[in-house]
Structure 1
Amino acid sequence: MIVRKLRLDRGLSQEQLAEMAGISTRTLQRIERGARASPETLKCIAAVLDTDFSLLRKEQTMPAEPNSLPPSTGLTPEERDAMEYVRDIKGFYGHAVQYAVVMVVLLLLNLFTNPDYLWVVWPALGWGLGVAVHGMNVFEVFNVFGTEWEKRQIDKRLGR
């Protein structure tokens, strides 16, 4: 995650950094999400970001927490939380856009094939409910499965 922080601090897009480092954009995306990278790749990124290779290497060797961003000495807990939150919001917006595009295509298909019966309402309601629940979860409208619930479940699993 330190790569992402350094990239954003320098105002670079993923495409720009990847091109400058001589790696693919997809490789950079994977590294920013916590995937392992070869020392050569990390050296190229460190050179472009004008940072110490050992800082990037250290992050690669630290164990990641499950379902979380990898811990890093370069990120504060607040920065990690903010990045996770932004990633969740981005996921929700992507889900909402996919829903809208598919529903428009289904509506057109419905109108061209059987305009007398609007069957498109059923998938729109079903998937729309899923998008709404996703949004409520991301924006914490109803925090049913929040931090306290997670702690109770962990204690339950550990027999405490």
Structure 2
Amino acid sequence: MSIQKMRLKRGWSQQQLADASGLSARTVQRIESGHQGSMESLKSIAAVFEVDFSTLTKDVTMTIESANSLSNNERIDFKRARRIRDCYLHLLMYFAVNIICLAINLLTTPEHLWFIGLTLFWGIGIAFHTMTVFVFDKYFNGQWELA
């Protein structure tokens, strides 16, 4: 089992694994993405998961080899997950920026509500982004993007 799968099985974030193993979060990210980790790093991760160090090093080398041989379905799934994440981040940014603009508008020129135009215009963009990710991807699953 890969380090990432063991981490996700326990419901840990990369930061939580880094804290438990005494490593930096960046080191955990590098090892999970397929970069070669030092012996000490792999030993500390193996100790956290209570697995044999030798099986962990085999899993890391197998992860590096298998990362290059993802099937088309896996690539599509990863791309879809990234698109969903980006859509939620876009929505979060929309709310944060519009709240800030509302505050600025009410504090500087409350007689002229200019933030409404920004909110509506950006809201149309959010609606199209959301439709693209959650509606159109069901019909067009993105296989053509991998070519």
Report deviation, 1:126: 3.0
Note if contact 1:39-1:57 (Cα within 8 Å) is conserved in structure 2.
no
Structure 1 segment 4-153 matched on structure 2, within 5 A: 4-32=4-32, 34=33, 36-40=35-39, 41-49=41-49, 50=51, 51-62=55-66, 64=68, 71=70, 85-139=80-134, 141-143=135-137, 146-147=141-142, 149-150=144-145
Distance in 1 (alpha carbons) for counterparts of 2:75 and 2:45: 21
TM-score of the pair, normalised by structure 2: 0.69
Report deviation, 1:55: 0.8
Report the RMSD for the aligned CA atoms in angstroms.
Answer: 3.4
**Amino acid aligned to 2:96:** V
User: Which structure carries more helix by proportion?
Assistant: 2
**Amino acid aligned to 1:39:** S
Size of the alignment, in residue pairs?
141
Distance in 2 (alpha carbons) for counterparts of 1:59 and 1:116: 60
Q: State the Cα deviation string for residues 97-149 of structure 1 (Å, max 9, x = none).
A: 2211110110110111112222112322332233222222321x124864354
Greater displacement, 124-133 / 95-104 = 124-133
TM-score of the pair, normalised by structure 1: 0.65
Distance in 1 (alpha carbons) for counterparts of 2:78 and 2:143: 21
Structure with greater contact order relative to length (CA < 8 Å, sep ≥ 6): 2
Q: State the Cα deviation string for residues 48-98 of structure 1 (Å, max 9, x = none).
A: 332521111332355547xxxxx3xxxx98777656544443332222122
Gaps of 5+ in 2: none
Report the counterpart of residue 157 of structure 1 in structure 2. none
Gaps of 5+ in 1: 66-70, 155-160
